[in-house]
Amino acid sequence: MSRVLTVNPGSSSLKVSVVDAGTTLGEWAESDWDGMPDPAEVEAVGPVDAIAVRFVHGGDRTGPVVLDEAVAQDLRRLVPMAPIHQPRSLSMVRALRNWWPDVPIVACFDTSFHTGLPPAASTYPIPVEWTRKFGVRRYGFHGLSCANALRTTAETLGRRAGEVAMICCHLGSGVSVTAIDGGRSVDTSMGFTPLDGVPMATRPGALDPGLLLYLAREIPLEALEDGLNHHSGLAGLSGTNGDLREVLAARAQGSADADVAVRVYLHRLRREIAAARTSLPRLDALVLTGGVAEHQPGLLDELATGLEFLGVDPIVTPAREDLEMARQTEETLN
Ligand SMILES: Nc1ncnc2c1ncn2[C@@H]1O[C@H](COP(=O)(O)OP(=O)(O)O)[C@@H](O)[C@H]1O
Ligand SMILES: CC(=O)OP(=O)(O)O
Ligand SMILES: [Mg+2]
């Protein structure tokens, strides 16, 4: 087993790479949701031995699985819980099967990293009959990014992964904050779905459930679902598309709405980071990853103002979900 084609359909981008033993041989990023690099371009890097596809929702699966028709069917069941991401991963699989019919596909899940959450963090305070009947719990997402950040942070600190107490903030189009201790997730801001937690490019993060009940009486359910997934968060607040480049440009041009959007984003992010700290015995590292962490240093300085009490300086690490997926795929197939 050597070359793994990794496919990561995120909410604002499709990222594709070919990885061989931890080295990236080629990478492609498409901001167009329906884009896909030309398979011939991928083949030009050399033949691939396996394909890894990111699925944000894997249900209760604790690790990656070889994707056969039964698994695909089961993952389809989870579409209502991850409506932005799951359909895209499923349609990517259909296309990939066409292009590479003989290459095994492994599904790698955001949720797997969080399956060991302690009950205090994973249980919703609703009637226990609802919890049992609907299989409701905090699943948590961005786990592939967290696993990669844990590995790089452990290397930086010269420790084993199990010896690191850290907070991982994934700042992409989706945003999450995860407390990691003993090599596993002990609390995380995303919940039953990736709508929860910190405001994101187009999603609101945590809302008063009473507000949702109120809105559900005023707005048809489909419009509400669309508004919460695609028109809330930074986009909804600022009137831009929610990409922080655009929000910050609007703020620089004097937009009061964009100014409030950034304030809300940073306030809620700091609040979530402070909350994550309470799940850890100590804090070795505050790690920031994802497109915003990698490309918006000025905003990170604004974020750090007010977090001095944590006693650590934030460190930035690239969100190499593809390296984690390639690793998981090799382990699964070997
Ligand atoms: N080259 C860049 N310069 C500035 N900001 C960037 C750049 N690339 C990405 N970003 C920021 O990162 C965000 C997208 O993060 P990313 O991790 O790529 O998203 P996702 O994986 O969720 O699609 C955008 O909101 C944008 O503000
Ligand atoms: C789970 C999630 O929101 O992922 P992304 O940030 O890649 O859209
Ligand atoms: Mg992403």
Is 85 annotated as a binding-site member?
A: no
**Helix, strand and coil percent figures for the chain, each rounded to 5:** 45, 20, 35
Half-sphere exposure of 191 (CA within 13 A, CB side): 16
Quote the ligand 2 centre to 89 CA distance (angstroms). Answer: 12
Q: Which two tokens stand for residue 171?
A: 């700042």
Q: What is the pLDDT of residue 323?
A: 98
Phi–psi pair at 309, nearest 5 degrees: -60, -20
Q: What residue ranges line ligand 1, CB within 6 angstroms?
A: 10-13, 172-174, 201, 243-245, 290-292, 295-296, 319
The pairing of strands 23-30 and 14-20 is antiparallel
Q: What is the pLDDT of residue 182?
A: 97
- Averages of pLDDT over runs of 10 residues in the chain (334 residues) are 91 93 93 74 90 98 97 97 95 93 97 98 98 96 98 98 98 98 98 98 98 98 97 98 98 98 98 98 98 97 97 97 98 95
DSSP assignment of 114-164, as one string? GTT--HHHH--SS-HHHHHHHT-------HHHHHHHHHHHHHHHTS-GGG-
For residue 169, what is the enclosing H or E element?
strand 166-171
Is 54 annotated as a binding-site member?
A: yes
The gap from C-alpha 14 to its chain's centroid, in whole angstroms, comes to: 13
Q: Which amino acid is at 210?
A: G
Which of 244, 25, 57, 223 has its CA nearest to residue 137? Answer: 57
Rg from Cα positions in the chain: 19
What residues form DSSP beta bridges with 180?
166, 185
Which of 86, 147, 122, 88 has its CA nearest to residue 289? Answer: 147
Residue 143, ligand 2, Cβ within 6 A? no
Residue 55, ligand 2, Cβ within 6 A? no
Q: Which two tokens stand for residue 60?
A: 């209760």
Which of 130, 138, 112 has its CA nearest to residue 191? Answer: 138
Q: What is the pLDDT of residue 32?
A: 66
Is 227 annotated as a binding-site member?
A: no
130 vs 69: CA distance, rounded Å:
30
Is 243 annotated as a binding-site member?
A: yes
Quote the ligand 2 centre to 10 CA distance (angstroms). Answer: 5
What residues form DSSP beta bridges with 6?
17, 52
Q: What is the pLDDT of residue 34?
A: 67
Which atom belonging to ligand 2 lies closest to the Cα atom of 203? 3
Do residues 212 and 50 make contact, with C-beta atoms less than 8 angstroms apart? no
The pairing of strands 166-171 and 285-289 is parallel
Active site residue 60: no
ipTM: 0.97
Quote the ligand 1 centre to 245 CA distance (angstroms). Answer: 8
Which atom belonging to ligand 2 lies closest to the Cα atom of 173? 6
Q: Which two tokens stand for residue 330?
A: 């090799």
334 vs 331: CA distance, rounded Å:
5
Quote the ligand 3 centre to 216 CA distance (angstroms). Answer: 29
Going from the N-terminus, what domains does the chain have, and what CATH number goes with each? Answer: 159-316 (3.30.420.40)
2 vs 139: CA distance, rounded Å:
31
Point out the catalytic residue in the list 110, 181, 284, 322: 110
